[in-house]
Amino acid sequence: MTIIAPLFIGLLFGFFLHKGGMTRYHKIVNVFRFTDMAVLKFMMSSLVVGMIGIYLLTDLGIVPSMPITPTYIVGNLFGGLLFGVGMATAGVCAAPIAAGSGEGRLDYIIPGILGMLSGALLFGLTYNQVYPAINKIANSGAITLPEVIDASHWLVIGLFTAVTIVLFYILERAIRMRADKTKV
């Protein structure tokens, strides 16, 4: 199995994460305080660029298929709720822990990675007790938004892009005022 391709992908991934500031505690926490929306800007930029590129390549037949993440409503929501607690408390996230380790952050290298491995271990060991029960509720399979609302995917992408642009504009104006007011 090739190693260079995934290494290359990860290299760029970690590089952009670091340049975006995603390996820093205050950057991640402050999006939840609405004083620094970099995380949201970062995520939405990657979503817009990614969805346009992926659907374009697939529609043009350059790429045979895309992997559709299955939707388990309860699992996705509940997992998200738990995830947000960890993210907002320590200001860390799964991939940034690896990128931040490369930056020399010992608090990521040691307790960060050990914590991730422990969580993974706990999950795997309790898998049979926890996962099937949660994901049997409302398992919708590999659906996509366009299918759900019965619309063209380019309509959804266009709407998402438009909303994103408007949101970015609002964020640039409004949040600047709040950041000055609430410096810690």
Partner 1 sequence: MNKFVAYLRQPEWSPYVAGSGLGFVIIIALVLSNALLPAPTLVGASGAYENLVAPIGTAIDPANTYFKFIMPAGLTWAVWVLVGIFLGGLASALLSGTFKLRKMPDQQWESVFGKSVVKRWVIVFLAAALLEYAAGIAGGCTSGLAISGGVVLAPASFLFIAGMFASGIVTAMVIYRKKY
Site for partner 1 in 111-130 (CB under 8 A): 111-125, 127-128, 130
Q: Interface residues for partner 1 in 131-160 (CB under 8 A)?
A: 131, 134, 140, 142-146, 148, 153, 156-157
Which of positions 157-176 make contact with partner 1 (CB under 8 A)?
157, 168
Cβ count near 179 (within 10 Å)? 15
Supply the minimum distance, in Å, between the C-beta of residue 54 and partner 1. 5
Query: CB of 29: closest distance to partner 1 in angstroms?
Result: 6
Binding residue count for partner 1, defined by CB under 8 A = 125
How far apart are alpha carbons 41 and 59 in whole angstroms?
27
Residues 54-73 that bind partner 1 (CB under 8 A): 54, 57, 62-73
Give the C-alpha separation, 75 to 45, whole Å. 26
* Region 79-108 residues binding partner 1, contact defined as CB under 8 A: 79-95, 97-108
Nearer to partner 1, 68 or 162 (CB): 68
CA distance 52 to 37: 23
For tokens 């810690």, the residue is 184
In whole angstroms, the minimum distance from the beta carbon of 150 to partner 1 comes to: 13
How far apart CA 144 and CA 56 sit, in angstroms, is 16
CA–CA dist 115, 117 (Å, integer) = 5
Which of 46, 123, 126, 116 lies closest to 87 in space, CA to CA? 116
Query: 118: which residues sit within 8 A by CB, 6+ positions away?
Result: none
CB 166 to partner 1: min, Å = 14
Q: Which of residues 6-45 bind partner 1 (CB under 8 A)?
A: 6-26, 29-33, 38-39, 41-45
